[in-house]
Amino acid sequence: MNIKLTGRFLLVIFFLSFFTKSIYSQVDTLKSGWEFGRPDERIWRSATVPGTVHTDLLAHHLIPDPFKGMNEKAVQWVDKKDWWYRCTFNVTEAQLKQDVVELEFLGLDTYAEVSVNNRDVLVTNNMFRAWSADVKRHLKPGKNTLLIKFESPIKHDMPRFLRDSVIYPAGNDASDIPLSVYARKAPYHYGWDWGPRLVTSGVWRPVILKAWSAATIRNVSYTTALEGKKARVNVKVQLTVTRPGTYLLTPALTLGNSSAIANRPGKAFTLPEGDTTCELSYEVNSPQRWWPNGMGAQPLYQATVYLTTAEKTTLAQLSKKIGFRTIEVENKPDAQGESFFVKVNGRPVFMKGSNYIPQDNFLPRVTKEKYRRLFDDMQESHFNMVRVWGGGIYENDEFYDLADEKGILVWQDFMYACTLYPGDRTFLENARMEAIYNINRLKDHASLALWCGNNEIAVAIKNWGWQDGYAYTNLQYESMQRAYDKLFKEILPNAVKDHDPGRFYFHSSPISNWGKPEDFTRGDNHYWGIWHGMEWFEAFNTHIPRFMSEYGFQSFPGMATIDSFATKDDYHIFSNVMQSHQKSPAKGNTAIKIYMDHYYNTPVDFPAFVYLSQVLQAEGMKVAIEAHRRNMPYCMGTLYWQLNDCWPGPSWSGRDYYGRWKALQYYAKRAFEPVITSTVEENGQLKTFVITAEHGNNAKWDLELKLVLTDLQGQIISLKKIPARKYADGASTLVNTVAINDLLQGRPRNEVIFYTELVNNNNVLNPNLYYFAAAKEIALQEPGISFTCKAAGDGVDVTVTTKQLARNIYLGLSTAIEGEHFEDNFFDLLPGMQRTVHLRTGRTAAAIQQQLKITSLVDTYKK
């Protein structure tokens, strides 16, 4: 019997990995006893699963660390070889008495042949899908052998490349032979402009042995309609049945220790043999709504479905964490062009966040602790959205579970980026199955906001000169575009419609290019005029799109990270090692230096250059973030490129490979604060805005504003106070305009500072300083910085005081310990001011007092 919803509704939902408990069901994860080797050597060595061939070789000291020095080049032979993995596992008599004994592979990278006891059971060609096979007939009591033969992805795809009449425009592929387009494998493995070329193979997600009888639950999905003070929940249960008959399905929903629905008897279904779907429905009174970070709480309900026999013997149960909310994406023509914004629970919300790439080239090295730290950092930085970029992977379940928990909305790309793809039936069917698997895996997450077909391919077709650059004939280019339309305008949207109905999908980000003024009126935009276009940071103030989903600037990681891959002999931006870790060679370190010379004095040495590169990047991104927030509701989102790194080296990231915060991450945290001021020059006027984030309860902000013009010695030239008033949440309000000539009264621009400060309920919020001249034009004096350390809470409070203007004060430790974290850094202090910064650490205040080293801008060019 099916129970179905009718009428209009908005999707709401969630996901958590399931578990089954029953005498009819036994589950084992095959973790131990793995070995790997090459078929041409037949030498078997211990292996780690989940893992990769590179990490196994590294563990046996058979290759150098690819992240150190120039070793990346020394390991390129690995992807040209086939690699075999094997293990033995025990099967009991009890397991063999079950109807089905399955092997489930949650991730095989990528081309593999699987055999059990020398019997072929599976062939795979996609690292993004789970694969399973009923292997009962091949098993025996006691020890059994599992063998996985991985074919080199290079060897597998090279014949296809040689047969094709076109070369695909995959400019990311560092080998100059674009094989990445053929493999349904993480594109960044083949290289990108922020990461190395390390094309892996291996068992990268768990292998599970499942034995069950009668019937089992394959998946459960939820659709929720919020109706006034109630929610109606529709549940689809996908089952496989080996013994036809009558079964009971019973739903349960709890929040904490309390049931959210009345106890009810199981619903009976008469089920045939094979795969089938059953539907349930129930109501929830007064559901607590899930909100994005900063707008409210993130209540997550435990939703469970129990499968029992007619005699009420439990066969299986599946549980997920779910959250009640509505999400809509508005993307339609309006009076200003074409909108693009997100509504949560009926409220438009300005999106604050970044673009995420995989955290390691060797994916199984990303631990649960690293995922949690990543999301702790996003939450601390006031993010409410993260974009999972289309050149990486569909992330592990832990990623989305934490997004649900922390209130971080997920913009989910399908894994296609920056190139056209084949259009043959085999490739497209593989893509379709990949989409269905990942949609079903992720669709129930409260955090999932939207699906996007690919990264940048649509704008590239029109604007990147592919046809001329690759000498495609008109017929060839038209054929390639038809393949694009088939995949991104037919197969993927149909998969979303069929399996995640109601969720927003669009075929490519960005919707608009950045070359013409009209581009900034339509949809989302990737603005690369800064960096690729070599425009100055001030262009961020005039190039405002409806939603900025990519923009950025590079910097180097800190010296502790550089020392993990380089020696002091490599301390030069054009040394071989630094060049090998700079993956944007067309501009790269030269671009950083050009921008640095424009805004700053020449740094005295390499460590000064590294520090200054981070300050440069952060100051530029501050201009952008404030410009985007100032211009809401015209602009309704800012996602900078990029949040993190997959290896240590210079890149656009705010957190480096080890999770250490660069200056950018601190600047983003301050720029994403719920309430900020922002000052900008426009047509000879100095304009100051008060910008507020959204509350879930529509509360207004009660704020007092102080605007001060001082000289470099901190002497007040003019002071204006705007009395406390209420500001609407989720708004940008122009509060003060003054002619710059009237304000400065002839004073040189490089000798004054404009300072704004907000007071909310007697709490002074982070001040914002505006400089009228580039840093290199301001005559900084030795600031005379002093500090004291005092034990506080889970660490130490560091109070910093300065006698003179101090810019970009950086608090560092001579020897850092993993997990230590300053809650603020790279900040400015006016003369006579102080700031207290908390350091999370297990060390004493006395130890920190000895270890603390403070750097400010003047130190980079005065010794």
Segment 740-798, tens digit of pLDDT: 999 999 999 999 999 999 998 888 887 899 999 999 999 999 999 999 999 999 999 99
Q: Which residues contact 343 (CB under 8 A, 6 or more apart)?
A: 326, 327, 328, 329, 330, 349
Radius of gyration of the chain, Cα coordinates, nearest whole angstrom: 29
Distance CA 127, CA 363 (A): 12
Give me the residue label for tokens 């604050």: 352
pLDDT at 523: 97
pLDDT at 23: 52
Q: How confident is the model at residue 818 (pLDDT cuts 50, 70, 90)?
A: confident
pLDDT at 20: 40
Distance CA 510, CA 533 (A): 17
The helix/strand count (H/E) of the chain reads as: 17, 48
Judged against a pLDDT cut of 60, whether residue 13 lies above it is answered with no
Distance CA 43, CA 38 (A): 7
483 contacts 335 by C-beta, under 8 angstroms: no
- Average pLDDT estimate for 595-618: 98
Distance CA 509, CA 598 (A): 32
Instruction: Give me the phi and psi of 230, to 5 degrees please.
Output: -130, 165
Q: How confident is the model at residue 863 (pLDDT cuts 50, 70, 90)?
A: low
pLDDT at 598: 98
Sheet holding 274-285, edge to edge: 215-227, 230-241, 274-285
Amino acid at position 852, single letter:
L
pLDDT at 42: 85
Q: Helices (DSSP H) in 715-812: which residue ranges? A: 740-744
Distance CA 487, CA 494 (A): 10
Q: Helices (DSSP H) in 10-132: which residue ranges? A: 53-59, 93-96
Query: Which regions of 381-462 does DSSP assign to beta strands (E)?
Result: 385-388, 409-413, 448-452
162 contacts 137 by C-beta, under 8 angstroms: no
Judged against a pLDDT cut of 70, whether residue 5 lies above it is answered with no
pLDDT at 15: 31
- Average pLDDT estimate for 505-528: 96
Kindly report the average pLDDT of the chain as a whole number: 94
Q: Quick count: other Cβ atoms within 10 Å of Cβ 18?
A: 16
Give me the residue label for tokens 């240590």: 648
% helix, strand, coil for the chain, step of 5: 25, 35, 40
Q: How confident is the model at residue 837 (pLDDT cuts 50, 70, 90)?
A: very high
pLDDT at 1: 28
Q: How confident is the model at residue 601 (pLDDT cuts 50, 70, 90)?
A: very high
The catalytically annotated residue of 102, 151, 456, 626 is: 456
456 is catalytic: yes
Task: Produce one character per residue of 395-434: b if its CB has 16 or more CB atoms within 10 Å, e if not.
Answer: bbbbbbbbbbbbbbbbbbbbbbbbbbbbbeeebbebbbeb
Distance CA 202, CA 362 (A): 10
Q: Quick count: other Cβ atoms within 10 Å of Cβ 745?
A: 10
193 contacts 583 by C-beta, under 8 angstroms: yes
Q: Quick count: other Cβ atoms within 10 Å of Cβ 148?
A: 24
466 contacts 421 by C-beta, under 8 angstroms: no
Judged against a pLDDT cut of 70, whether residue 648 lies above it is answered with yes
Give me the residue label for tokens 């080890």: 658
Residue 259, beta-bridge partner list = 254
pLDDT at 699: 72
Distance CA 362, CA 657 (A): 12
Q: Calculate helix-pair angle for 425-442, 492-499, nearest 10 degrees.
A: 30
Global pTM value: 0.95
Give the chain's length. 863
Distance CA 292, CA 66 (A): 39
Q: How confident is the model at residue 698 (pLDDT cuts 50, 70, 90)?
A: low
Going by DSSP bridges, is the β-strand pair 768-771/752-760 parallel, antiparallel, or unpaired?
antiparallel
Distance CA 314, CA 27 (A): 15
Angle at 285 between CA 282 and CA 290, to 5 degrees: 95
Give me the residue label for tokens 């500072």: 753
pLDDT at 24: 66
Judged against a pLDDT cut of 70, whether residue 522 lies above it is answered with yes
- Average pLDDT estimate for 48-73: 98
pLDDT per residue as tens digits for the range 236-268: 999 999 999 999 999 999 999 899 887 777 899
